[in-house]
Structure 1
Amino acid sequence: MTRREHDTVSLITPSYRGDLERSALLFESVDRFVSSFERHYVIVHDEDLALFKPFHGGRRVVMRASELLPTWLHEIPLLRWRRRRYWWSLRAKPVSGWHTQQLVKIKAAAVLPEDRYCLIDSDNVFFRPFDVATIAPPHPPTLRINYGHADDSLPGHQTWVRTARDILGMPAPTFPADDFIDQIIIWDKQIVQAMIARIETVTGREWSEALCRARDFSEYMTYGNFVMGTDALRDAAEITTESLSNTHWTEDVLSPEQIMAMIASASPRQVSLCIQSFNKTPVSQIRDTLHAYLASQSNAAA
């Protein structure tokens, strides 16, 4: 793969009004702890643009999702089911905002000007320094794998693996299969472009149409299976089993002591906490606990 003289990394975070407070905490932590990136692209649906505009400026670029979605995909006005928006077309099944967030990640990583991207869910918050120069070219592309995690306990993940391998023209999977879902993901632009080309060759359709027609897809499963199923990419990748984020996956409300315990239990590689957005722990409590931790670290160093 050819590289430019100066290889670059940017951050991508899709979000929406329901995660506005969480996003604000993420942005605050990025500004404090993340270095060496070109831009932080924040991608929101058009009707949420005004809410996120105050965060636009400097290296943070707030973008309309419509700039990245296919022109044939149309939002269904006023329709909300389980608090989700829906889009329709004459080409595929209706898709939700959860699907369109995946589409904009793929399109952004394929067309924006940087060489590599760090995709960060909006429910992350950084608590220690993260220099993205460590994941920039000429460092090899990083791929995080959770070996054998897509098993019978996660039927949705198994479906995403099947879809990924089908649209990539790969043999049907056996289970348990490897899982590539995570809260902070590293993507290489040229790999994303090659993945898109493979989908279009295999399906004979525009890649976004192929995904919408499948509907049960995961952008991370698709990228991960593409890398692992392509000898040259797999051999060139830096494979890791450790996440960059220490994640809490359940709905139980966390106390400040439990949040502190999450920080204390983080491995040296983990630079963020992710308390899933469906969790009811108040964002203000997460922020206050993080500030208390940082203050204690500052006092200890003094």
Structure 2
Amino acid sequence: MKGDWTHFLLVADSDVPLFRSLATSSRQVISERDLLPSWLFVCPDPFSFMRRKLWLSPFSIPLRGWHVQQLRRMALARHISEPTMLTLDSDVVLIRDFDPADLWQDGRLALYRQENAIDASARSDHLKWLSHSERVLGCAPAQLPATDYISSLLPWRTDTCLQMLDHIEARHGQHWVRTMIRTRAFSECIIYGRFVDDVLHGAGHYAMPHPLCHSLWLGDSYARDLAGLESFVADLAPNHVCLQIQSFLGHSIANIRAVTTMA
């Protein structure tokens, strides 16, 4: 990645010692304990023979790691001074030269939005995520087909994220995390996108219709072997600066490394 940027590694408190050696003048390791309220705490999951973790609180049913990952991203806005937040999932690999500064145009930051992408036949929890964003933000119900804002390399304005957290707290009269976790069906990407479009009416942003990341989300999209991954990489578009192969799909690390090298 080009430019002078600070890299923040957001990790579970128990993992901080494992990542501490990666800290440099431009890379910070941040514990989730410094980001999240004290009443949200982690414990081993007995139903996975203690291999996985659960996050517990008095205000929600148990949360999984991918829920807390979203909360970490949102919480980071209150801990940094950089104007741009660029979030990458841990299974994202940058494959092309890229300077995030190019995402700014005349004082406005790119907002990824895929119009008419969510309809009544949506395969995942998109409809639940839309409903949750409406309850959290107080915006009108989305008209289907609705806009999708989800990708694996997303730029956010830090000041906009701060406005969003303040908006949620002012509307509900409680810590924003408590409002978020009333259900486990939420998407931080949709909440940010709808805050920009439905609350701020697009202020400070311009629409970016093409994703920066080429993502393999579903197991039935390509064959689960090296040939399938090669086909996936062959579908890279000029706008893609990185790719993501979901870890739970079961592709071998060797095959992933092979195709990222060829990309």
- In the superposition, the TM-score normalised over structure 1's length comes to 0.78
Residues 1:142 and 1:172: Cα distance change in structure 2 (over 3 Å): same
Match of residue 89 from structure 1: 57
1:169 equivalent in structure 2: 138
Q: Is the 8 A contact 1:262 1:273 kept in 2?
A: no
In the alignment, which residue of structure 2 is the partner of 1:18?
A: none
What code does the residue aligned with 2:224 have? V
Q: What's the secondary structure of 2:171's corresponding residue? A: helix
Pick closer, same or farther for the CA change 1:55–1:285 going to 2, 3 Å: farther
What does residue 28 of structure 1 align with? none
In the other structure, the counterpart of 1:114 is: 82
CA distance in 2, matches of 1:80, 1:108: 31
Q: Which runs of 5+ in 1 are unaligned?
A: 1-33, 295-302
- Is the contact made by 1:102 and 1:218 (CA closer than 8 Å) also made in structure 2? yes
Change (3 A) 1:290 1:216: closer
Matched-pair contact (CA < 8 Å) for 1:116–1:186:
yes
Q: Which whole-Å CA distance do the structure 2 matches of 1:200 and 1:287 have between them? A: 43
Provide the rounded CA distance (Å) in 1 between the counterparts of 2:47 and 2:189: 26
In 2, Cα distance between the equivalents of 1:212 and 1:42?
A: 23
1:253 aligns with 2:224: yes
Say whether 1:45 aligns with 2:12.
yes
> Which stretch of the first structure deviates more once superposed, 149-158 or 216-225?
149-158
Deviation per residue, 1:264-298 (Å, 9 max, x gap): 4322221111111112221222223333x37xxxx
Between the aligned partners of 2:126 and 2:224, the Cα distance in structure 1 is: 25
Residues 245 and 78 (structure 1), Cα distance of their counterparts in 2 relative to 1, 3 Å cut: closer
Q: Of 184, 202, 208, which residue of structure 1 is paired with 2:153?
A: 184
Task: Verify the 8 A CA contact 1:110 1:190 in the aligned structure 2.
Answer: no
Counting matched residue pairs gives 258
TM-score (norm 2): 0.88
Say which of 28, 35, 41 aligns to 1:74: 41
Equivalent position amino acid for 1:253 in 2: R
Question: 2:191 & 2:118 partners in 1: Cα distance?
Answer: 13
Q: C-alpha separation between the residues in 2 aligned to 1:191 and 1:164?
A: 16
Report the alpha carbon displacement of residue 42 of structure 1 after superposing the two structures with TM.
1.0
The match for 1:223 among 172, 192, 198 is 192
Q: Is the 8 A contact 1:135 1:141 kept in 2?
A: yes
- Aligned 1:18-167 pairs, distance under 5 A: 34-77=1-44, 79=46, 81=48, 84-136=52-104, 139-151=107-119, 152-167=121-136
The percent of aligned pairs where both chains have the same amino acid is 28
- Separation of aligned partners in 2, 1:237 and 1:175: 23
Amino acid at match of 1:50: P
In 2, the alpha carbon distance for the partners of 1:179 and 1:266 equals: 20
Partner letter of residue 183 of structure 1? S
Q: Is the 8 A contact 1:37 1:132 kept in 2?
A: no
Matches within 5 A, 1:5-16: none
CA displacement 1:216-240 (0-9 Å, x = unmatched): 21111100111110344x1542102
